[in-house]
Structure 1
Amino acid sequence: MKVLLVDDEQDFRDTLAKRLARRGIEAETAPGAAEALAWLGRNPGADAVVLDVKMPGMDGIEALKHIAASYPGVAVLMLSGHAHVETAMKGLELGAFDYLMKPVDIEELVFKLQDACEHKALKGRA
């Protein structure tokens, strides 16, 4: 599984990437939406993106729109430190696979990533 972690908090990105790597998940990181979109353009085999909602510049919802339009095979999990039902619903309406709250439980994140990749594989076979 190849995952891109997008968050403006470097310590959070690095820690999460290490924790996912220990569980056999290849995790790359990007500090913002523009870098994430460029990375996706260079890495067409990405399985999933874990995308922070609140970031400077282009926020997660705007980035989700671009990812859904340009990379429809990539599952997106939205991540937020702020509980806003409206934002979660908007993300899901725009094609996010799921919405998780920070601090994210690593086992829950791994489960959601596996679920998203299985869903992607099933969708690809349909």
Structure 2
Amino acid sequence: MADPISVLLVDDEPDLLDFLSKRLNRRGFIVQTASNGRQALAAIGVLPPDVVILDMLMPGGMDGLATLREIRRLFPLVEVLLLTAHASTEAALRGMELGAYDYLIKPVAIGELVLKIEEASGKRGVMASPLDPDVNHDA
């Protein structure tokens, strides 16, 4: 059996963090939360998740794109899904240019979010070495 996927949810809305955390936990994910970019970077430094779900607009001087830049620089193997209530093609393209795996619009259906998390975490497995003994190549 595969290890559960670990997820870091980063959003300045406590109710959304609570809601998504509970829903993802019920589906077998290991979930951490952070309310801003600095907390997210600290959490990743302690226990890197497989996937970060990152809100684009957060207060405190470090928005989603700035946080994404730092995640890419410091933790290049961590996949990032951008999440925002403010649909913006320009922001989506910029996020993808900076290395985000994908971009989702709030409110996101939990099924869609789960699928994107699974896809993003699966991308890491595809990039593993063919000689890696921890990778089940028959799965």
Which of 93, 96, 119 is 2:123 aligned to? 119
How do 1:5-24 and structure 2 match up within 5 A?
Answer: 5-24=9-28
**Corresponding residue for 1:49?**
52
> Where does the alignment leave 5 or more consecutive residues of structure 1 unmatched?
none
How do 1:35-74 and structure 2 match up within 5 A?
Answer: 35-44=39-48, 46-57=49-60, 58-74=62-78
Aligned length, in residue pairs: 125
**Where does structure 1 differ by over 2 angstroms across 4 or more consecutive aligned residues?**
none
TM-score (norm 2): 0.88
**Corresponding residue for 1:104?**
108
> In structure 1, what is the Cα distance between the partners aligned to 2:80 and 2:87?
18
| 1:123 CA displacement | 1.2
Which of 72, 91, 95 is 1:91 aligned to? 95
Secondary structure of the corresponding residue to residue 27 of structure 1 = strand
Question: Which structure has more helix as a fraction of its residues?
Answer: 1
Secondary structure of the corresponding residue to residue 104 of structure 1 = coil
Secondary structure of the corresponding residue to residue 49 of structure 1 = strand
> Where does the alignment leave 5 or more consecutive residues of structure 2 unmatched?
131-139
> In structure 1, what is the Cα distance between the partners aligned to 2:126 and 2:76?
14
The residue identity in structure 1 corresponding to 2:123 is H
**Corresponding residue for 2:83?**
79
Secondary structure of the corresponding residue to residue 124 of structure 1 = coil
The residue identity in structure 1 corresponding to 2:51 is A
> In structure 1, what is the Cα distance between the partners aligned to 2:129 and 2:118?
17
> In structure 1, what is the Cα distance between the partners aligned to 2:84 and 2:52?
14
The CA deviation string for residues 74-115 of structure 1, in whole angstroms up to 9 with x for no partner, is 000000000110000000000000000000110000000000
Which of 13, 30, 36 is 1:32 aligned to? 36
